[in-house]
Amino acid sequence: MSATVYASARYGVVDDDTATGLHLASWTTNSEVDEATALNHGGSVIGVSMYNDRASVECSGVVAVKATGLALNLASVLTLANTTADSLNTNTANLFTTANGNAGLLVRNVSLTRTNTGFEEGSISATFYPLVATNSPTTLAD
């Protein structure tokens, strides 16, 4: 469905029709840090250290290709089909750590929903750790 927008604000989600994952309906990026505080004798915070910055991503939409489904493994790297500056490449937008060139989004959760009256839908949760290279993981067997 096309839309006519009368605003300077961003409208809609940029999608790639050649993708084999999800046609996105929503995309959320949250940037966060861990923190340690120093307290004085009265319990008031007098110092703060913020560290371990990272970004988490939540996305959902309709499964793009019914024959392939949503074929993502936990702990795999999430690949974004369209990573132009105007699309979904928001991993490092608010982080203060310079990312390793091989850092990627690590999949934490995958969900698939099928109903008798709707399209197959999926959702994915992933985390971007800027200092973790994701290009050559080691798999440990039981």
pLDDT of residue 26: 84
pLDDT digits (tens, 9 = 90+) for 111-139: 888 888 888 888 999 999 999 988 888 87
Among residues 73, 105, 70, the alpha carbon closest in space to that of 89 is found at 105
DSSP-derived secondary structure letter, 118: S
Return the top range by mean pLDDT from 1-15, 16-30, 125-139: 125-139
CA 57 to CA 105: how far, in whole Å?
A: 8
Among residues 97, 95, 64, 96, the alpha carbon closest in space to that of 79 is found at 64
pLDDT digits (tens, 9 = 90+) for 28-74: 889 999 999 999 999 999 999 999 999 998 988 888 776 666 777 88
